[in-house]
Amino acid sequence: MCFLFFMASHVHAQTRTITGTVIGKDDGLPLPGVSVTALGTKTGTQTGVDGSFSIKIESGGSLVFKSIGFTTQTIKPTGNKVDVVMIGLSNDLNEVQVIGYGTQSRRESVGNIATVKGSDVIEEPVQNFEQALAGRASGVQITIPNGVMNTPPVFHIRGINSISLSAQPLIIVDGIASFDGNVGGGESGSNALANINPNDIESIDVAKDGAATAIYGSRAANGVVFITTKKGKKGDAVVSLDTWVGISQPFRLPKVLDANQYIAIKNESIKNAGLYNAATLSANPINDANGNMVNTDWEKLLYRTGKSYNTTASISGGTDRTTYYASAVYGNQQGIIQTNAFNNRGMLFNIDHKLNKYITLGLKISYYDQLNLANISSGSLPGEAFDGSGVGRLAVLLPPNVSPYNLDGSYSTTTSGIGIGNNYGFSIVYPNPIPQIDHDRRNNELYHTAANLYIAVKPLPWITLKTSYGVDNINSTNDSFSNPFSNYTVSGGVTTNAASASTSNTSNKRYSWDNTAQFDYTFFQKNNFSLLLGNEQQGTTTVGSGLTRSILSDQTFDVIQAGYVNIGTTGLVNTKNYLVSFFGRLNYNFDQKYFLSATLRRDGYSAFGTDSKFGYFPGLGVSWSITKENFWKSIGADKVFSSFKIRASYARVGNNAGLADYASTSTSNSSLYNTHPTLLPYTNGNNSLAWETSKKNDIGFDYGILNDRITGEVAYYKNDISGLIFNVPVSPSYGLASNPPDNIGAMYNKGFEFSINADIIRSGSFRWTANFNISFNTNKITALIPGTNSFTYSTSGSETASINTVGKPVGDLWIIKTAGVDPNNGRRIFVNGQGKNVEYTFLGTTHWYNMDGTPYLNAAGQPGTINQTADSRDYGNTSPKELGGLTNTFHYKNFDLNVLLTYQLGFYDYYGTQATMTDQRFFNNSTIILDHWTTPGQIARFPQVVFGDNVSNGTTLPLDINTYRGDFLKVKTVNFGYTIPKSFLTKLGMSSLRVYVTGQNLFIITKYPGPDPEVASNGSSTNGNSSGGIDRNTAANSRTFTAGFSVKF
């Protein structure tokens, strides 16, 4: 303020009365209680409930508008009326942050918590709020694994903090631990967290360090994300309507050969194999019913431009004693894959009531119905990379000279796959996807209810007793059908359909009851104490069952209730767990200068072994607001730093997420033998199985420069994880039914985080603010199981391309090196484990040769092969070493523009899809194959094409030719809006109206040749922790444009 004060000019003139209204930028609502003062005077007033004010100032004087949580503005009125839009500052020290079981101001915060305002995640065509978090906060990695609707993003805070358990953070929604991850069984994503409408989010607080997370004990190791939904504000009811429409398109799809190129390449490769015979083995054109040559663009048939629509309506308001907020959302979002869609409808209602001086109570209820629709596998969800009918693969693999239809318009199918057209002698084992798109279903529907109720009593001003009961229930229904037109068998000339249907229903129920007592007291004026004591119980049950039926009685049926020949079960599950906790937190500060926060939690969890049911999880954080010290001023540091706070924390917390409910128990299962019931050991437990332990160290500082026009944070952290759970292999002759789990591995994550927020330009009509953040993370495994230095991991159980090795980061690529193509004979040169070059030819019975043309022999002198065990090497890390985002926001008069760039650097991606697209079986190829060897002496990118060759270009062995740096800079979101002038709106009865357009994934700068370097065939699955950075037949990501408006009445 002093800064502005000095800049003010003192002009004496007549006084005049200025009136106007102050609204908040984010919600467009009138802002009550904003302090309005005449600059350089003591004249001041506050805005009323409707945001209006009236003040007398000297002519030529300026007005200062001030409110907690907003940037102070100084405006020199030109007329007698001034309308002011106040802009919230996410780094304002007065901002309220959510912490476990309470809130506090950022000024008092000891822990490292990044806050993202709800307004930052709206107006984006996302299915769940997580998708909009990328680049918003330092240390937070969000990777959208594919273009399938409502896929849970890979969500890591400060690196991957577990190998076998979940590495995703704990999500607390309005105080209740929410279900998260994929909870459906369809072919679309079915993220449990899609029940939170981004429009309903007030704020997202991401707790990263020990001090901020320790209160969550055995669940805190991966960080904690607090979602706070909107509540009503005192004042007249405000009705708002937010609507957008949009389109999504696949982008950066690979270019594949057309029919003529395909025919040429295949015939060339068949000739090279010495097998060409025009009548029995050759590729040839075929005409469609109109006599035109078939040239099928499978990418066009399988992808589409999706249309989307989403509307949220809300009403909120309140009196001195009662506030309420209610909203409803209705949306239909189509994905870029044919038939993939996300349809959501939901409601949220909450009410808070102050019964009297002592008692406050409140209720929240939300109900969501989400339909996650898809008729065909995308081949992109975890475990699906090699799905027969995965769209990601079929789009690039199916021959372009094959039509999905026969001349009579029927589907071109055989018992083993799509019809082969005039490709004589070909065996195409992949299905015709069109009948699946037309008739199949792989749908999921989630009914998600989340509710909670609280009563808080303040018997004395410094005591708050609160009890809160919440439920989170998801009912997940899967509905699947496979059509009889492309699924059938022929035996003895008789065709039998192999249609099938399945349905299953899983009920996930959770209750959570917590009781807290909070004591806030100030002794001797400057000693501020806040003590929290609490108890929490959380119980979760999962119960499900389902039915499968196959072979339709009548081909027109397509529901499970119809007639079928066979019957079976699916989706049988019945488990529960229970967590009970006792916790305390003592916050103390002296004169808002020295801060201390100590927490202790005791957790007991049913899944832990009987000898390890309970654990203690302590945390301690301290901070020092150095600007409050006199010496700070005396050395003049205050001229540079308007605020400066140093903090440090330590905590020992745990991870239990993803631990199977009965992991510690030895169980026996029932089956049948000759129709009699059986019982047999099924899993082997471990009585001492406990949480994975995470020791979090954090040190850093928050700073503000130029009267906090520039603010930011710097942090260093080290997270030592021990007791990583592995199912420890024992010798098979020991005869255990399963490998028992044990807390046995160790690793660490350490790194730096920087963030900076700058109010760069602030002139009357033009404002420019920016936020930049970057995080550097180093991850290293320090112990696996005794006697084992490494574990390999496979993608979808088929291709082993990932490895965890002691001394290396989690999920490195495990790849075989190559050395180009031999110009003499057109063979791919491989490099064996000893660094020696070896050539491969698909021809003949001996395939591997030394460079001198002699057969390659192994150590035993037998004909050798290049294989993964002997010859793969650690190719590099797949988790980015650096990542972050840059947000720029511009306001000019009523226009605003928000541009978010995200980037991830220092990592490798394995583009396995490229191996598919250069495979020399009947597969169609990428146009890059055109650069292949044909004549001696030729330097070519790809070897001689030989029909059937699936080794030279990487299908059977993951090769370095398909491995790339994944570094990228992405124009993630651009939002351009215009706020209609208020003067115009009042005539229409509106209080605010904003129209906008948004573009998402507009542009990527990367050397990665695949559709998107931000991919993960293994997604957010637990297997995905150790096999990230794999792009194996994954469907492309989408580029989305939306236009919308936000209106308030």
Q: What residues make contact with another protein under the rule CB under 8 A?
A: 356, 358-359, 455, 457, 459, 465, 467, 491, 513, 515, 517, 535, 537, 539, 566, 572-578, 580, 582, 604-606, 610, 613, 661-662, 665-682, 684-687, 728-737, 740, 742, 787, 869
In degrees and rounded to multiples of 5, residue 452 shows phi and psi of -155, 160
Give whole-number Cα distances, 566 to 415, 485, 491, 552, 553, in Å.
20, 18, 18, 9, 10
- Residue with Cβ nearer another protein (465 or 843): 465
Output the six-digit token pair for 838. Answer: 């070896």
Give whole-number Cα distances, 335 to 147, 339, 479, in Å.
7, 7, 19
In degrees and rounded to multiples of 5, residue 86 shows phi and psi of -90, 140
Place of tokens 């870029």: 336
- Residue with Cβ nearer another protein (791 or 964): 791
Contacts of 594 (CB under 8 A, 6+ apart): 622, 623, 624, 625
- Residue with Cβ nearer another protein (737 or 760): 737
Q: Residue 456 Cβ, how far from another protein at the closest point, in Å?
A: 9
- Residue with Cβ nearer another protein (600 or 770): 600
Q: Residue 619 Cβ, how far from another protein at the closest point, in Å?
A: 22
Q: Residue 88 Cβ, how far from another protein at the closest point, in Å?
A: 35
In degrees and rounded to multiples of 5, residue 134 shows phi and psi of -55, 135
Q: Residue 144 Cβ, how far from another protein at the closest point, in Å?
A: 34
Instruction: Give the C-alpha separation, 493 to 515, whole Å.
Output: 71
Give whole-number Cα distances, 983 to 21, 438, 750, 891, 993, in Å.
11, 52, 54, 19, 11
Residue 103's closest CA among 175, 196, 200?
A: 175
Please name the helix (run of DSSP H) or strand (run of DSSP E) that holds residue 436, with its range, or none.
helix 433-439
Q: Residue 737 Cβ, how far from another protein at the closest point, in Å?
A: 7
- Residue with Cβ nearer another protein (515 or 888): 515
Per the CB < 8 A criterion, the answer to whether 773 and 747 are in contact is no
Q: Residue 956 Cβ, how far from another protein at the closest point, in Å?
A: 11
Q: Residue 540 Cβ, how far from another protein at the closest point, in Å?
A: 11
DSSP 153: P
Q: Residue 574 Cβ, how far from another protein at the closest point, in Å?
A: 4
Please name the helix (run of DSSP H) or strand (run of DSSP E) that holds residue 1024, with its range, or none.
helix 1022-1026
Q: Residue 172 Cβ, how far from another protein at the closest point, in Å?
A: 20
**DSSP bridge pairs for 115:** 205
- Residue with Cβ nearer another protein (787 or 937): 787
- Residue with Cβ nearer another protein (535 or 837): 535
- Residue with Cβ nearer another protein (563 or 681): 681
Q: Residue 469 Cβ, how far from another protein at the closest point, in Å?
A: 8
Rg of the chain (C-alpha set):
32
Instruction: Give the C-alpha separation, 239 to 709, whole Å.
Output: 34
User: Diameter of the chain by CA atoms?
Assistant: 106
Q: Residue 136 Cβ, how far from another protein at the closest point, in Å?
A: 37
Per the CB < 8 A criterion, the answer to whether 61 and 10 are in contact is no
- Residue with Cβ nearer another protein (582 or 1041): 582
Please name the helix (run of DSSP H) or strand (run of DSSP E) that holds residue 846, with its range, or none.
none
Per the CB < 8 A criterion, the answer to whether 227 and 264 are in contact is no
- Residue with Cβ nearer another protein (520 or 629): 520
Residue 222's closest CA among 160, 177, 164, 129?
A: 160
- Residue with Cβ nearer another protein (592 or 678): 678
- Residue with Cβ nearer another protein (119 or 683): 683
- Residue with Cβ nearer another protein (454 or 840): 454
Give whole-number Cα distances, 761 to 84, 457, 710, 758, 769, in Å.
17, 46, 11, 9, 7
Instruction: Give the C-alpha separation, 174 to 226, whole Å.
Output: 7
- Residue with Cβ nearer another protein (735 or 853): 735
Q: Residue 218 Cβ, how far from another protein at the closest point, in Å?
A: 13
- Residue with Cβ nearer another protein (46 or 537): 537
Residue type, 978: Y
Q: Residue 505 Cβ, how far from another protein at the closest point, in Å?
A: 16
Q: Residue 528 Cβ, how far from another protein at the closest point, in Å?
A: 25
Contacts of 735 (CB under 8 A, 6+ apart): none
Residue 331's closest CA among 375, 369, 374, 376?
A: 369
Instruction: Give the C-alpha separation, 413 to 435, whole Å.
Output: 9
Per the CB < 8 A criterion, the answer to whether 91 and 757 are in contact is yes
- Residue with Cβ nearer another protein (293 or 572): 572
**10 Å Cβ neighbour count for 424?**
15
Q: Residue 259 Cβ, how far from another protein at the closest point, in Å?
A: 31
In degrees and rounded to multiples of 5, residue 393 shows phi and psi of -90, -45
Q: Residue 669 Cβ, how far from another protein at the closest point, in Å?
A: 5
- Residue with Cβ nearer another protein (463 or 819): 463
- Residue with Cβ nearer another protein (433 or 654): 654
Q: Residue 565 Cβ, how far from another protein at the closest point, in Å?
A: 11
Instruction: Give the C-alpha separation, 553 to 566, whole Å.
Output: 10
Contacts of 1000 (CB under 8 A, 6+ apart): 124, 125, 972, 973, 1038, 1039, 1040, 1041, 1042
Pairing of β 873-876 and β 848-850 = unpaired
Contacts of 30 (CB under 8 A, 6+ apart): 21, 22, 23, 47, 49, 50, 51, 52, 235, 991
Q: Residue 444 Cβ, how far from another protein at the closest point, in Å?
A: 23
Pairing of β 63-66 and β 73-75 = antiparallel
Residue 505's closest CA among 474, 547, 541, 477?
A: 477
Instruction: Give the C-alpha separation, 813 to 331, whole Å.
Output: 40
